[in-house]
């Protein structure tokens, strides 16, 4: 069934142009179609408002449209200070953990439920015999570190996947994490061997970074709300849309 936006049919080329950012997603064709719809609506609305310059690419057009229709102020001093004060474990220098892990990699050939069961069974065996960690890593880990018993060495913030980082830095203790850690790479059994809390950076040193992050988050929320508004006002057929959560504008 063709997809139409306000009576105009999307072409295969329209959707194909949006595919690259979504090829690894669970439903790339659906996400690419949503992005194509939003891009069409965005340009139509910008032209209606008279802010679509002839030399503007779609990203510049999106920013101009968002600035015109849903402006986002820069984060102020008090917002930055609240963010800093509410996260005493963040904004540190020299913080690291020494960890070892066993990776059960997710692949198309292995059902996730079966992989999770194997990982859970292995975790239970290691809980019963902590000295067996290295041998299990050597036998089962899909990470090159498995050859060395799973040892990753010292890991600093920003060096690993965000999900892995949150798990290893959020626990104050050392030892085996009681639950599997799930990341984009697969399922991990993780043991923390040592840690250094580092020193907290003063507010003045990180204020600019905090302001940038808060403003970017507010802009992302504003875009999603505005994109939902555009979709809600449009006549769209041929696709079921539950929302406008699309990485069209980064």
pLDDT tens readout for residues 27-68:
888 899 998 999 899 889 998 999 887 778 878 888 888 889
What's the CA gap between 98 and 191, in Å, rounded? Answer: 9
Quote the pLDDT of residue 157. 87
Contact 176, 194 (CB under 8 A): no
**pTM, to two decimals:** 0.63
Strand segments, DSSP code E, in 186-247 are 186-196, 199-200, 236-237
Spans of all domains in the chain: 4-76+207-237, 92-200
What's the CA gap between 146 and 100, in Å, rounded? Answer: 9
Residue 246 has what DSSP assignment?
-
Q: What is the CA radius of gyration of the chain?
A: 24
- H or E element at residue 151: strand 151-156
At residue 89 the predicted structure's pLDDT band, cuts being 50, 70 and 90, is confident
Quote the pLDDT of residue 55. 79
Of the two residues 30 and 204, the one the predictor is more confident about is: 204
pLDDT > 70 fraction of the chain, expressed in percent and rounded: 96
Nearest to 95, CA basis, from 85, 87, 103, 86? 87
Q: Does domain 92-200 fall into CATH 3.10.50.40?
A: yes
pLDDT > 90 fraction of the chain, expressed in percent and rounded: 60
- Return the structure tokens found at 108: 């198309």
Helices 203-233 and 58-69: crossing angle in degrees, nearest 10, is 90
Nearest to 127, CA basis, from 60, 64, 176? 176
Q: What is the mean pLDDT of residues 207-233?
A: 92
At residue 142 the predicted structure's pLDDT band, cuts being 50, 70 and 90, is very high
Q: What is the mean pLDDT of residues 224-239?
A: 90
Query: Highest mean pLDDT: which of 8-17, 135-144, 163-172?
Result: 135-144
Where b means 16+ CB within 10 Å and e means fewer, 46-61 reads beeeeebeeebeeeeb
């Amino acid at each position: 069934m063709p997809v139409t936006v306000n009576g105009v049919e999307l072409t295969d080329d329209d959707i194909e142009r949006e595919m690259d950012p979504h090829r690894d997603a669970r439903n790339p064709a659906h996400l690419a179609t949503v992005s194509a719809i939003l891009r069409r609506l965005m340009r139509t609305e910008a032209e209606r408002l008279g802010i679509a310059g002839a030399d503007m690419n779609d990203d510049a057009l999106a920013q101009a449209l968002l600035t015109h229709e849903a402006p986002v102020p820069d984060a102020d001093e008090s917002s930055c200070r609240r963010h800093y004060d509410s996260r005493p474990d963040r904004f540190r220098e020299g913080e690291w953990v020494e960890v070892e892990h066993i990776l059960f990699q997710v692949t198309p050939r292995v059902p996730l439920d079966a992989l999770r069961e194997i990982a859970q069974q292995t975790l239970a065996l290691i809980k019963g015999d902590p000295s067996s960690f290295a041998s299990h890593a050597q036998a089962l880990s899909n990470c090159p570190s498995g050859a060395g018993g799973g040892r990753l060495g010292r890991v600093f913030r920003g060096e690993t996947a965000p999900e892995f980082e949150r798990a290893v830095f959020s626990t104050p203790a050392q030892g085996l994490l009681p639950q599997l850690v799930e990341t984009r790479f697969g399922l991990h059994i993780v043991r923390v061997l040592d840690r250094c809390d580092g020193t907290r950076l003063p507010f003045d040193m990180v204020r600019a970074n905090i302001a940038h992050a808060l403003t970017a988050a507010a802009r992302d929320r504003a875009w999603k709300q505005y994109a939902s508004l555009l979709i809600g006002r449009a006549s769209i057929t041929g696709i079921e849309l539950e929302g406008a959560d699309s990485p069209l504008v980064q």
